[in-house]
Amino acid sequence: MKDKITSAATRVLLREGLQGWSIDLVAAEAGCAKGLVHYHHGSKKVLLAAVAARIERERQTRRLDALSASGAEALDRLWRVIEREVGTGAWAAWASLVAEPGITLPAADATETTAFASAIGRALDLPALGADDARLAAAALDGFQLALARGVPPDSVQEAFHRLWLALLS
């Protein structure tokens, strides 16, 4: 039931945004009593932190899947993931939770960072990035998504995206 509530809370966030999100809507979406939401998650902030962690795991999975290809195909797939997350509202949902006071998000663990660094290395036929470089690359991807969400022309953002990878290759 806890996972069902987290899934429902995620769907409500994607549909309504943080301002329209409520425990009442989550309970209705999950098909359970409001008290059951509190029983399994304790508070609104704890539930939102679980939603943020779920969205982040899904984002990481999509990025790693895109990077399972190689060369230009991997970068094209990664670009489409970035655009799709902005288009579906997944990036805005994640960003709103990251910016929300009182929501404690788990730090990326070393395994996730290593997996991302290795995936970039395999895709681009480079040695795996160091942890700091992998975190910087992930932050750059978030920056590209912010630019898209703010209405910067996609062609301009995509050009910057390609420049990042060209810099890594040189």
What is the per-residue pLDDT across 80-98, written as a single tens digit (0 to 9) for each?
Answer: 999 999 999 999 999 999 8
Here the tokens at position 78 are 């990664």
E-assigned strands of 24-167? none
Q: Which helix (H) or strand (E) holds 99?
A: helix 90-99
Residues of the chain with pLDDT under 50: none
Global confidence as pTM:
0.86
User: What CATH topology corresponds to 1-42?
Assistant: Arc Repressor Mutant, subunit A (1.10.10)
Output the pLDDT for position 76: 96
* Cα–Cα dist 112/167, whole Å: 23
Q: Where are the domains of the chain?
A: 1-42, 54-169
Output the pLDDT for position 31: 94
